[in-house]
């Protein structure tokens, strides 16, 4: 029980820190917007093409944005020297990760929901008909990104060149999420039901595998 109550307290701390300044959210939203616009300049897609490639570009933009957004996740604790007190305060270090990854998933999901109308307009894709499925895919994808990203940002925060290191470690690891989320999103716009179920199950498996790994090995990531 203490795991969940600890996580709850830590989560409210994460959310409060972010919503006081809203720095992370605004920067990430603008970053995704810039990337999406630059993509359309780079390939200038027709309507047909943007339905085919748009989801891939959207997920790539989300992935890049996430690899920047996850950067301060543990860095802030390290700069303020709060990591040891955090570890002392909780009974299970997994709750630190759980709080951070839930917060990151929420931030990512919020950013994506803000970006979705812009994406639909610029890339001329119908997001409304399958919106509930789309939100499910966005949620599972963001959860996968956040689980792996939170773990790796704890690693990169302890190394040199950390700003460059995190995307370098994270992006190859997230290949499965990118492949499957992009494929499923395309299939949602093209209305292919077969890919959808399989893809959603795959994303859930990815999330479960990395959550379990984090649960098993998380405490070692925070060793002093």
Partner 1 sequence: MTKRIIFGGVAILLVIAAAYASFFIAPEERTMGLIQRIFYFHVASAWSGFTAFFLCFMGNLLYVWKRDQRYDWLAVSGAEVGLAFTTVVLITGPIWAHPVWGIWWTWDARLTSTFVLWLLYVSYLLLRTLIDEPDRRALLSSLFGIFAFLDVPLVFGAIRWWRTQHPQPVIMGGQGSGLDPTMKAVFFFSALAMHVFMLFLVAERYALEKMQTEADFLARELEAQ
Contact 157, 74 (CB under 8 A): yes
User: Of 28 and 153, which CB lies nearer to partner 1 in the complex structure?
Assistant: 153
- By beta-carbon proximity to partner 1, the closer residue of 111 and 183 is 183
Contact yes or no for 185/137 (Cβ under 8 A): yes
Of 121 and 159, which has the nearer Cβ to partner 1? 159
Give which of 41, 42, 40 is closest to 58, Cα–Cα.
40
Nearer to partner 1, 41 or 220 (CB): 220
CA atoms 184, 189, 190, 193: torsion sign: positive
169 binding partner 1? (CB under 8 A) = yes
Toward partner 1, which CB reaches closer, 81 or 224? 224
Convert residues 177-196 into a mask of x (bound to partner 1 by CB under 8 A) and - (unbound): --xx--x-----------x-
Using CB under 8 A, pick the residue from 54, 176, 189, 200 that binds partner 1.
176
In angstroms, the Cα distances linking 19 to 14, 22, 149 are 9, 5, 21
Q: Which of these ranges, 15-23, 48-56, 96-104, 209-217, lies near partner 1 under the rule CB under 8 A?
A: 209-217
What's the CA gap between 37 and 119, in Å, rounded?
9
Minimum CB distance to partner 1 smaller for 50 or for 150: 150
Find the shortest distance in angstroms from Cβ 19 to partner 1.
Answer: 30
Residue 94 to residues 100, 162, 180, 222, Cα–Cα distance (Å): 10, 23, 28, 10
Which residues from 98-137 bind partner 1, rule CB under 8 A? none
Is residue 160 close enough to count as binding partner 1 by CB under 8 A?
yes
| Contact predicate 69/23, CB 8 Å | no
Reduce the secondary structure of 198-217 to three states and give it as a string.
HHHHHHHHHHHHHHHHHHHH
Task: For residue 210, state whether it binds partner 1 (rule: CB under 8 A).
Answer: yes
- Check if the beta carbon of residue 9 is closer than 8 Å to that of residue 27: no
Footprint on this chain of partner 1 (rule: CB under 8 A) = 148, 151-152, 155, 158-161, 165, 168-169, 172-173, 175-176, 179-180, 183, 195, 202, 205-206, 209-210, 213, 217, 220-221, 223
């Amino acid at each position: 029980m203490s795991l969940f109550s600890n996580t709850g307290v830590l989560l409210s701390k994460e959310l409060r820190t972010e919503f006081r300044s809203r720095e992370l959210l605004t920067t990430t939203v603008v970053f995704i917007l810039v990337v999406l616009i630059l993509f359309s300049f780079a390939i200038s897609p027709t309507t047909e093409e943007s339905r085919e490639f748009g989801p891939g570009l959207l997920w790539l933009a989300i992935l890049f944005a996430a690899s920047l957004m996850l950067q301060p996740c543990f860095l802030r604790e390290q700069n303020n020297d709060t990591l040891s007190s955090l570890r002392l305060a909780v009974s299970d270090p997994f709750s630190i990760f759980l709080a951070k990854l839930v917060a990151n998933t929420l931030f990512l999901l919020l950013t994506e929901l803000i970006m979705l109308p812009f994406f639909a307009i610029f890339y001329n894709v119908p997001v409304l008909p399958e919106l509930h499925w789309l939100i499910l895919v966005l949620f599972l994808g963001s959860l996968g990104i956040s689980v792996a990203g939170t773990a790796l940002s704890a690693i990169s925060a302890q190394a040199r060149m950390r700003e460059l290191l995190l995307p370098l470690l994270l992006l190859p690891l997230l290949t499965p999420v990118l492949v499957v989320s992009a494929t499923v999103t395309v299939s949602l716009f093209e209305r292919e039901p077969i890919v959808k179920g399989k893809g959603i199950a795959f994303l859930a498996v990815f999330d479960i595998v990395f959550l379990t790994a984090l649960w098993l090995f998380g405490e070692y990531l925070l060793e002093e």
